Structure 1
Amino acid sequence: MRTIILLLLLLGVGNLPQLSACEACGCSIMFWEMGLTPRFQSHQLSIGWNHQRFTSYSSLEAKALGQIGSEEYFQQMDLQLQLRLHDRWRLSVALPYAFLQREIAGETWNLNGWSDPSVLLQYVVLDQENKKRTEWRHRLSAGVGAKLPWGQQAKLPEEDNTQVNFRLGTGSLDGMAYLQYVLRRGDWGLSADVLASRNGENEEDYRYGHRWSGHLTVFNVIASGKLGIMPSLGLYRETAAEDVQRGYYRSHTGGQYTFGQLGLQVFFPAFSTTLRYQHPLEQKWAEGLTEAGGRMTVQFTYFFGGKPLGS
């Protein structure tokens, strides 16, 4: 029944939005990331909270003078469902709700609403979870999916003939491909994953640049009775091509950045809590006109069905 209710909510979210382009602002940077997937053989229902901050500049000259164009704060609540369909098949559904805030010249604009949901189907190519802990254990999974254009959108009032827009969705149907590899021995492990997005055009003939992101994470599992603790340390990398509108590349779009990442997950028999902080190490987004700050994620997960242990 829980699954049916969630899928009905997903199908009932909003109408297809009408979006216009966004150049040097942080809103186009938001991207779904998978990261570590603990207890892979169990169904999971999660709710998470993500906080991001960006600083945007109107030009490189203004940036050199320290003249900030806008401060942007993006907070997003994610409802995620992961279903173990079979020993080798797994379905993931993400339904985000965003809280956006933008401060320009002493004025603050806010926009809240549903963002674009995503669906991802994974297949486990290799799984050696049942091998002895003293041996090397490998797991390789691959997946395909889509991001659906159901995010709501609203325009803010015009100021000085310049219209500022927030983006709760891209307005396009985007394809996704995912690959994850996990290596374990004893209490230590290494996880590497890549998520690529091939974006379509929205109703205004605008296409956000194709993207890919990836994690490289080292983790350790500390078990004591029914309690498990998993600290992790790693890197997160994301790149995006330039946006295209009516066949022309848009300036001040696309780019790349690298974050250092610290994580901590605490496990109980039926649920877990995850804390993650990402700090920017290197970045060049929108030709340097957008700078990302630190990011924080908090997530609570309920496990049901499947095997009680594993990662």
Structure 2
Amino acid sequence: MKKSLLILIFLGLLSQSNQSFACDSCNFFEYSLLENKSYIGLFYRFRDFRDYKTISPSTTTAIQSFPAQLSTQLQPWIGNEIMHEPEGNNLYVQKTKQDFETYQTIEARGNITLNYKWNLTFLLPYEFNKVYYEKYLDLPNPVSDTTLYVQGWGDLTTAVEYIHLVYNPKSRHTFRPGLAFTLPTGQAQIQSNNENRELFDPIIQPGKGAFSFIPRLNYQWFLENKGINAGMSYQWSTEGKQSYQFGNSFNAYLLYFHQFELGGSLLLAPNLGVYHESAQRDIYNGEKQDLTGGQVDFAQLGLDLNLSQTTFSLVYQRPIHQNLNGNQILNQHRISIGLIRSFKL
């Protein structure tokens, strides 16, 4: 087979806090065609979050820890579970089944391969973030429901990888150690449209306003028309806008794929595997935030269709285990759709 189609994994958006995202730009893994490794691509990603660990009314209410002047405004919630989220804001939330969060991304991606030994990659996302709370108190406003909606440019990510190939008569091993850097180029200080023109919380801003340093390693074993992809990465982030620092994160994945030649240059490659992400607690004004960080494991199903130099990719992920810090909203679904056009330099 002259061309080998690999699996594309495209995960996460911002290293958010209460969504427990580990890292959006850590785990992007490119196609690696034997003859044409350079490409341009356009991708769409969707992630949603619903439900909490606990929603039932609490016998001991958190209202006792609130300032005395809030007692009148919080009376309708006495006896219910009240959470202060996001931390550091004047937003108090009674978590309900109706709450949800959705994050959508349209991303341009480019990759240039030099001398079949080095990969240079960039990712530029545009974000559409929505958060809905059925019951909230935005001081000094009364209790009501609200939808927070933010859209804008995310942070630019650049990466460099070294490609090391090991051949034997029956199989091929590809090792790809590399470094990625997220630059503070995105919109991280978008304001609300209300009369106060307050800044949206850092956890839903399209950009972080911080630098991130991401060492990573990708590996593939390929035998005839099947193989295994594996990889891991770790992200260190600096303090960003609004004195907010997203927690360091670790990502890892393992996938099995099988290629089917449907005639001519048409290849079909389904894949199946698992993906893990974990993140430490975020830091706001020097203090760790309790409702941030944790671990999530996903099952993944994917399908790649390659025709000549054009590749279509579809990935679906569903959480199989979640261990989040505090009563965070839970992961539900992740979907990624990509279209790639490879070329020779």
User: TM-score band (shorter)?
Assistant: 0.7 to 0.9
1:199 aligns with 2:194: no
Q: Is the 8 A contact 2:154 2:187 kept in 1?
A: yes
Which residue matches 2:179?
144
Change (3 A) 1:158 1:245: same
Which residue matches 2:10?
none
Q: Deviations over 1:145-174 (max 9, x none)?
A: 210111113133679xx9853221111101
Q: Is the 8 A contact 1:58 1:68 kept in 2?
A: no
Q: Deviations over 1:121-154 (max 9, x none)?
A: 0001x3036x54xx13111110012101111131
- What TM-score results when the alignment is normalised by the length of structure 1? 0.81
1:244 aligns with 2:283: yes
1:89 aligns with 2:122: no
Report the Cα offset of residue 30 of structure 1: 5.7
1:176 aligns with 2:176: no
Report the Cα offset of residue 59 of structure 1: 7.2
1:38 aligns with 2:11: no
Change (3 A) 1:62 1:200: farther
Task: For structure 1, list consecutive stretches of 5 or more residues without a partner in the other structure.
Answer: 1-20, 307-311
Q: Is the 8 A contact 1:200 1:207 kept in 2?
A: yes
1:156 aligns with 2:185: no
Cα distance in 1, alignment partners of residues 122 and 309 from structure 2: 20
SS at match of 1:170: coil
- Give, as a single letter, the amino acid of the residue that structure 2 aligns with 1:53: D
Which residue matches 2:165?
127
Which residue matches 1:217?
255
Change (3 A) 1:170 1:37: same
Change (3 A) 1:218 1:80: same
Change (3 A) 1:158 1:256: farther
Which residue matches 1:283?
322
- Give, as a single letter, the amino acid of the residue that structure 1 aligns with 2:24: F
Report the Cα offset of residue 179 of structure 1: 0.1
Which residue matches 1:99?
128
Cα distance in 2, alignment partners of residues 62 and 36 from structure 1: 47
Q: Deviations over 1:24-68 (max 9, x none)?
A: 3x2855612224533165211010000000126597656998724
Which residue matches 1:264?
303
Report the Cα offset of residue 289 of structure 1: 1.5
Aligned pair count reads 280
1:50 aligns with 2:45: yes
- Give, as a single letter, the amino acid of the residue that structure 2 aligns with 1:51: F
Q: Which runs of 4+ in 1 moved over 6 A?
A: 63-66
Report the Cα offset of residue 212 of structure 1: 1.4
- What TM-score results when the alignment is normalised by the length of structure 2? 0.74
Cα distance in 1, alignment partners of residues 46 and 106 from structure 2: 9
Report the Cα offset of residue 202 of structure 1: 1.6
Change (3 A) 1:62 1:275: farther
Cα distance in 1, alignment partners of residues 185 and 32 from structure 2: 29
Q: Deviations over 1:82-130 (max 9, x none)?
A: 1002221110100001111222224333221110110010001x3036x
Within the candidate set 95, 103, 109, 1:80 is matched to: 109
1:253 aligns with 2:313: no
Cα distance in 1, alignment partners of residues 57 and 23 from structure 2: 25
Q: Deviations over 1:169-197 (max 9, x none)?
A: 11110101110110111111001011211
